[in-house]
Amino acid sequence: MNESNYNYYIITSDILPEILRKTIKAKELLSRGEATTVNDAVEMVGMSRSAYYKYKDHIFPFYEVTKGKIITVALVLEDRPGVLSSILDNIARAKGNILTINQNIPINGIANVTISIRTAEMQESGENLFKSIEKIDGVKKIDILAQG
C-alpha cells in the first residue's frame, strides 16, 4: 500500500487489542536494548514472532510519528497569571520550537489557546511533553488538533 493512502489516528492504548500492545512493548524492548533479538523480545512479552512481524510496521508509539513534525495543540486554561507561561516553559525545556500561539480573550475565567510546535529538536517525546503540560495547575484540557 502506498504510504499516502494511510490514515493515521491517535487512540489510547487501553482500547487496543492485546497483540498490538505486545507488539509495541516488543519494539520498545528492542529499541532500548533490553532485548537483543526479536526472538528475545517476543518471548519476553509473550507473543509469536509471526504476529510481531505482521504488526511491527503498522503500529508506532506517538513519539515516533511526531518526531520532526509540527504538532498543533488546543488547550483550555484557567485565566490566571503564569498558566500559559508554565506551558511555554515546559515546551522550551523539551526543546520544542513554538511556531504560533493564538489565545482568545478569556470568557468566564477560561481561555482557549492554540499552540503549534516544531518537534525536530525536541529531547523528549511529545507524549511526555503533553503529559507534563496536563499536570500544570490551571490546565483544564489539552487536545492534539493536527500534526504534519
Per residue in 113-126, pLDDT tens? 999 998 888 877 77
Q: Is residue 8 part of a domain?
A: no
For a pLDDT cut of 70, what percent of the chain falls above it? 86
Q: Is residue 11 part of a domain?
A: no
Cell numbers representing residue 121 in the block: 529538536
Whether 37 and 70 map to the same domain: the answer is no
Specify the range with the lowest mean pLDDT, choosing from 4-13, 72-81, 137-146.
4-13
Give the number of C-alpha atoms closer than 13 A to the C-alpha of residue 42, restricted to the C-beta side: 15
More confident residue, 28 or 147: 28
- Say how far apart CA 100 and CA 124 lie, in whole Å: 20
* pLDDT confidence tier of residue 2, bands split at 50, 70 and 90: very low
Per residue in 85-121, pLDDT tens? 999 999 999 999 999 999 999 999 999 999 999 888 8
- Say how far apart CA 85 and CA 115 lie, in whole Å: 12
Residue 73 burial by CB count (10 A; 0-12/13-18/19+): exposed, middle or buried?
buried
- Residue 137: give the domain boundaries: 66-147
- Say how far apart CA 129 and CA 93 lie, in whole Å: 9
Q: Is residue 82 part of a domain?
A: yes
pTM, two decimals, is 0.58
CATH of the domain at 107: 3.30.70.260
Q: Is residue 100 part of a domain?
A: yes
Q: Is residue 3 part of a domain?
A: no
Average pLDDT, the chain: 86
Which pLDDT score is estimated for 100?
A: 94
pLDDT above 60: residue 145: yes
Whether 75 and 143 map to the same domain: the answer is yes
